[in-house]
Amino acid sequence: MDKKTEIKRNTQQRQLITECVQVLKHPTAEDVWQCVSKKLPNVNKTTIYRNLKRMVDEEELLSFVTGEGITHFDSTLDRHYHLYCKKCGGITDTHAELLDQLTKAVQDSEKFQIEEQNLILTGACPKCQNNDPK
């Protein structure tokens, strides 16, 4: 009764969107649009938005927002969090063990029932620390 068993068509657009999210790793809607456009020059952004939204609703993708307020999509579904490099804009996944510990602790001490964890650590990735020795 929770998940709708909706008919889903396998359109070219949808296939490409899925593909692009996987390849691009942590794209924005704009990124996906540009990527899909390469193979299908007339895709409309609306289609991108509609599909991404639906995929998030149906839990095929997850989305998160960086400190700058930009929404990114992620095809990695296991719980993890993100390292966001301010300099190059790169986003790296990190595993969730420590975050899980933290969440459990909060759950116990605050009696807060946690459903989603959204952690973004922002800073400078190893590459940018070296390349930009300011």
Partner DNA sequence: CTAGATGCAAACGTTTTGCAAATCT
Partner DNA sequence: AGATTTGCAAAACGTTTGCATCTAG
For binding to a copy of itself (CB under 8 A), which residues are involved? 64-67, 69, 71, 83, 85-86, 92, 94, 98-99, 101-103, 105-106, 110-126, 129
State the Cα–Cα distance between residues 132 and 126, nearest whole angstrom: 10
Q: 34 or 117: whose CB is closer to DNA?
A: 34
Segment lying near DNA (by CB under 7 A), choices 64-72, 75-83, 100-108, 117-125: 64-72
Compute the least distance from the CB of residue 28 to a copy of itself, in Å.
12
Exposed, middle or buried, 20 (CB in 10 Å: 0-12/13-18/19+)? buried
The answer to whether 8 contacts DNA (rule: CB under 7 A) is: yes
Backbone angles phi, psi at 110, to 5 degrees: -100, -5
CA dihedral 67, 56, 80, 94 (to 10 degrees): -60
Compute the least distance from the CB of residue 95 to a copy of itself, in Å.
10
